[in-house]
Amino acid sequence: GDSPHRPFATIDYAIGQCTASRGDVIYVLPGHAETLSAAAGIDADVAGISIVGLGNGRNRPTISVLTATGTDIDIDAANITIDNIYFDVTGVDAVAAFVDVNAADFTLRNCEFLMADAGGQATRCVEGATAADRMKVLNCVFRSTTAGAASAIRVTGTADDSEVAYCHIYGDFSVAAIENPTANVCTNLRIHHNYIQNDNNGNWAIELVSASTGTISSNKIVTDAVATAVDWG
């Protein structure tokens, strides 16, 4: 783990070698591939770390799902960043919430998610809980062109200051590409400068069904009708 010639085998093992709140960085080498098959397949439970993928395009590190619908990456400590990794969530049908955010100040940046193909369709990719204050999803791509997904990003509970920006989200979502479910009152939610397309007729690009506060601005929205583009809540 101290040089590219002596790497650790898995990201989860590398997390266990980190010290909390010291600014530790895990570099994941180009071409690295991991397959997850259980809940907390990666448990980011050390505060203040960054997991940074090296490489470009499909040469970036790849994390895939193999068998269980409960397979996920848990964000269980504050101030964690994941950057520049490709995620294939199609190995099994109906993965419930692949990146499960349960702590504050999580940043997901420059990542790409394949949510759906003929073999499997993830239900959701990113889900932020009440404790996920200041969660940021920035400059990411979510592709889900086969029917079966409910949403790409779901903001639940009473989280404050969540942000989705500069993302490209497109697919067939049965609920909404970005979803804020009933009775979950988020505050200071910011959704801006995204391209958001939902090919599921009659369903939303953005759906805020609670009394949330914040701003929606400078997005390009594509749906089957203007009336189903955005539900402001």
Give SS3 for 55.
Answer: coil
Structure tokens at 163: 């942000």
**pLDDT for residue 92:** 86
Series of mean pLDDT values for 10-residue runs along the chain (233 residues): 92 97 97 93 97 96 88 96 96 90 98 91 92 97 93 93 97 95 91 97 91 94 92 87
DSSP 58: G
pTM attached to this predicted model: 0.95
Spell out the alpha helix ranges (H) of the chain: 11-16
68-120 pLDDT tens trace: 788 999 999 999 999 999 999 998 888 989 999 999 999 999 999 999 888 88
Q: In what order do the strands lie in the sheet with 176-180?
A: 42-44, 73-75, 99-101, 126-128, 153-155, 176-180, 204-208, 230-231
- On the CB side of 14, CA atoms within 13 Å amount to 19
Query: Do 134 and 104 touch, CB atoms closer than 8 A?
Result: yes
Structure tokens at 166: 């500069």
**pLDDT for residue 69:** 82
**pLDDT for residue 79:** 98
Strand partners, 51: 26, 82
